[in-house]
Structure 1
Amino acid sequence: MPSPTPSNHINHIRRVDSPEDLLAVADLIETAFELKGDPEGQAVIRQMRRIARQRTPATIRALRGSSEGFVWIEEGEIVGNLTLMHFHKSSKPRTLIANVAVAPAYQGLGIATALTDYVMRYLQNKPDSEIWLQVRSDNAQAIHIYSKYGFKFEHAIAQWRYSSISNAFLGRLAALSPSRLCSRRRIADWHQQSAWLNANYPKNTRWYQNVNFSAFSPWAWLNPANWIELPNLQHVAYRPEGHLAGVLTWQQTATHADQVWLALPQGANEDESAEILLRYLIEQLKPQRDLALEYPAGRATQGIQNAGFVLGRNLDWMRLEKLQP
C-alpha cells in the first residue's frame, strides 16, 4: 500500500463531528470542485448545507453507519475531506468513497493521498464490505493513485443535464417529427426494454441509483409496494418502421431534477433513437423541471446533445478487488 504523505498525517486527520464541520465541508467541496456555476452541483451543495443545519453532534455520531467523514486540518481550518457512504440495501454491504476534496491552495501536497491511505486502513475493519468509488474519467492522477490501492475500472458513465433554457435551442433544430414515431410503451415491449436497461445500467452499481427497475414492468401494479412510485413513471417507445428501437422512462422525483432512463441497444442508430425519444419527452410531455440522464460514456453522445442536453462530466466506476494489509 502506498506510504501516506505528509508523514505526520495523524496529527491532521480527524472525524467530522459537528454541524460546523459539515458546513465547512460543503464550502470546501463547492470550491475544490468548482461548482458555483454548476446548477446540479449547487443543488447538491444546498442539500448538504440544509442537512448540516439539521444535525447535532449526537446525530452525526449516530448516523455513522450510513455516512461518515474524515477531514484534514491545517492551522485550524478544514482543507481536505473524504466521505464514506455505506449502503446496506442488499445482502452484500457496500461502501462508497466520495467527495475526496482538497482546497486549491493545498492541492499537490499529498493531502488527498494521505486521507485515502488513512481511510483504506480504517476500512480493514470492514472486510465484508465491497469498496467502490467514482472518479472523473479525465483525472489521470487520481485514477493512478486509486489503481495502486487495488481499485479496478468497472465501467464509465456520462452525466447529462437538461434545463428549460434549452427549449429555445430545440426550437431551432431540424424537425424529426418524433410524435409520429413515438407512442406509449406496450406490454410486449417490456422483455426487450428490461434487457436493454440491464445492459446500460449494470447491476453491480445500480445500488447507488435511486431506481427499482422492477417498478418499470407493466405488471408492477400487482405489487402494492410499487403503488407510490407508479404515478411518477411514464414510458415512451420509439418504433421506426414498426419495430421497437428503444424505450424512454421519465421518472418524476422529489429531488432537484427528474430522472430519465434510456433503454437502447448499442449500434449505428443509437444517436438517432436517443435524440427522437428525448425530444419527444421535452416537446410532447413538456416536463416542468430539470432533467438528469446517466448513460454509458461515449454512447449516443451526438443524439443526446442534439436533444438539448449538456454533458456535466464523465465518471469512472472503480471497485477494490481486495483490501491490502
Structure 2
Amino acid sequence: NIRRVGRDGDPYYLDATSPETSPLPFHGYIWVENNRIVGNVTLIYMKKNGQNLYFVANVSVDPEYRGRGIARMLTRCAMRHAQEHNGHSVTLQVREDNQIAISLYESLGFVEYTRRTNWGIQKRPPNLTHLTTPAIKIAPRQAENWSQQREWLNQLYPEKVSWFLPYQLSKQEPGFFNDFSRWLNGDSLHFWQATQAEKLIGLATLENINLLQDYLWIATSPAYEEIAIPALVSKIARRSLHPLRIQVNYPAHRAVAAFQALGMKEINTLIWMEYTIPPVLPQ
C-alpha cells in the first residue's frame, strides 16, 4: 500500500526518482487504499558536513483512516529509506500541543533536541525604546560589533536549527565583498543594533525571504533579551513598509513577555526531534 511519490504542485504524480536524485524539493511516500491516497509522508534530503540528513516535512493521514497505524508505517518507511541510503539522522518537527504525534515519534526512537516558537506581528507596534531607564538607542549596526553579533547568533541559531530555516550566517557579515555579493544576488538585508548607556545589548537583521515573509534574526543574550527585543522589533517594524510580513523564530518559552508587549502572536511552537540511524533499524 506504500508507494513512492514526487510532488510538483498539485496533484501528486508518481515518478522513478528518489529524494537523493529528484530535482524537486519535496519527495516521499503515499499510502493508497482502493486507488485512493489516504496518507503521505514528505521527505527532504540534504547533505551537510559529509553526512546524509533527512527531514520529514509532513506526515498526514485522512481522518477517516486514522487510528490504524498508517502514520507509524509511513514514518517507519521514511526512516528505513534514510537507513538504506546511508543516512545519519532523520529530523522532524511537531507542534507542542500534538501529544498523539509526539508519543508516536517518541515510540519510534525520536528524541527532542530543541523547541522553537514562530512569532508574527499582528499590527504596527508602538515605540517601546523609551520604556527603560536609561532609554535604549536603536541605530544602524556598526561593523565592529559583528563578532558579538556572530556569537549571539550562533547561540540562538545553532547549526542543527539553522539548517532547517531560511538562514545563512555568512550573509550577515559586514564588509565590501558581502555588500557587493548581496547587491549582486538581489538580497535585501538591513542591520540594526541596540545600545543602552553605550553598552551593546542586542542586534537584529531584517531579511526579505519572499513576497510574503520577512525574517528578523535577533542576536542578544538572556541577560538583555527582555529589553532588547521590544526596542529592536518596535523600531524596525515601525520603519518597515510591510511590518505584518515580519516573523521571528526564537527559542520557545524565552522572552515571551517581550514579544507579547509588542502585540506579537505565537504562530506555533514546534518540538524539533531527531532519530539517529543505527546500522540496522529495530524491527
Same-fold call, TM cutoff 0.5: yes
| Alignment-derived partner of residue 239 in structure 1 | 195
**2:106 equivalent to 1:147:** yes
Q: Using a 3 Å threshold, how does the CA distance of structure 1 residues 180 and 206 change in structure 2: closer, same or farther?
A: closer
C-alpha contact 2:40 2:74 (8 A) present in aligned 1:
yes
Distance 1:93 1:289 in 2: 37
Change beyond 3 A, Cα 1:186–1:64:
closer
- Is 2:5 aligned against 1:16? yes
Q: Is the 8 A contact 2:136 2:195 kept in 1?
A: no
1:136 to 63, 83, 95: 95
1:184 aligns with 2:140: yes
Q: CA RMSD in A?
A: 2.9
Q: How does 1:246-325 map to 2 (within 5 A)?
A: 246-267=202-223, 269-287=224-242, 290-323=245-278, 324-325=281-282
1:69 is matched with: 28
* Aligned counterparts of 2:237 and 2:101: Cα–Cα separation in 1: 37
> Contact 1:153 / 1:319 at 8 angstroms: preserved in 2?
yes
- Give the Å deviation of 1:209: 1.9
User: Residue 195 of structure 2 aligns to which amino acid in structure 1?
Assistant: R
**What CA deviation, in whole Å up to 9, does each residue of 1:242-298 have, x standing for no partner?**
10110011001235211110101013x422211111000111344366112110001
Tell whether 2:161 aligns with 1:205.
Answer: yes
- Aligned with 1:244: secondary structure? strand
Instruction: Give SS of 1:63's match.
Output: coil
CA 1:253–1:220 in 2, change beyond 3 Å: closer, same or farther?
A: farther
Q: Quote the sequence identity (%).
A: 28
C-alpha displacement of 1:224: 5.7
Deviations 1:131-152 (A, max 9, x none): 2111112222222222232222
User: Could you give the per-residue CA deviations for residues 155-208 of structure 1, whole angstroms, max 9, x where no partner exists?
Assistant: 111011225xx13xx35xx75448962111111211111111000011123222
5+ unaligned residues in a row in structure 2: which ranges? Answer: none
Q: Which amino acid aligns with 2:36?
A: E
- Asked if structure 2 preserves the Cα contact closer than 8 Å seen for 1:221 and 1:227, the reply is no
Q: Which runs of 5+ in 1 are unaligned?
A: 1-11, 26-54
Query: Counterpart of 1:195 in structure 2: which amino acid?
Result: E
In 1, the alpha carbon distance for the partners of 2:14 and 2:27 equals: 14
Contact (CA 8 Å) 1:238, 1:245: kept in 2 or not? Answer: yes
| Kept after mapping to 2: 8 A contact 1:220/1:226 | no
Alpha-carbon distance change, 290 to 280 in structure 1, aligned in 2, over 3 angstroms: same
Conservation of the 8 A alpha-carbon contact between 2:4 and 2:15 = no
Q: Give the Å deviation of 1:113.
A: 0.9
The alpha-carbon deviation at position 128 of structure 1 amounts to: 3.7
Equivalent residue number for residue 101 of structure 1: 60
How far 1:119 moved relative to its partner?
Answer: 2.4
For residues 220 and 318 of structure 1, do their structure 2 counterparts lie closer, same or farther at Cα, with a shift above 3 Å needed?
A: farther
Contact 1:281 1:287 survives alignment (8 Å): no
The separation in 1 between residues aligned to 2:113 and 2:119, in whole angstroms, is 20
For this pair of structures, how many residues does the alignment match? 276
CA-to-aligned-CA distance 1:193-248 (integer Å, 9 cap, x gap)? 11110000111232222222122111262586554358511111111111011001
Higher-strand-fraction structure: 2
Q: Is the 8 A contact 2:226 2:255 kept in 1?
A: yes
Q: Which residue of 2 aligns with 1:31?
A: none
Preserved CA contact (<8 Å) 2:191 2:203: yes
Residues 87 and 156 (structure 1), Cα distance of their counterparts in 2 relative to 1, 3 Å cut: same
Which residue of 2 is the match for residue 30 of structure 1?
A: none
For 2:5, give the aligned amino acid. V
Q: Which has the higher helix share?
A: 1
Identify the range of structure 1 (311-320 vs 204-213) with the bigger mean alpha-carbon deviation. 204-213
* TM-score, normalising length: structure 1: 0.75
Choose 304-313 or 64-73, whichever is displaced more: 64-73
TM norm structure 2: 0.85
2:68 aligned counterpart, secondary structure = coil
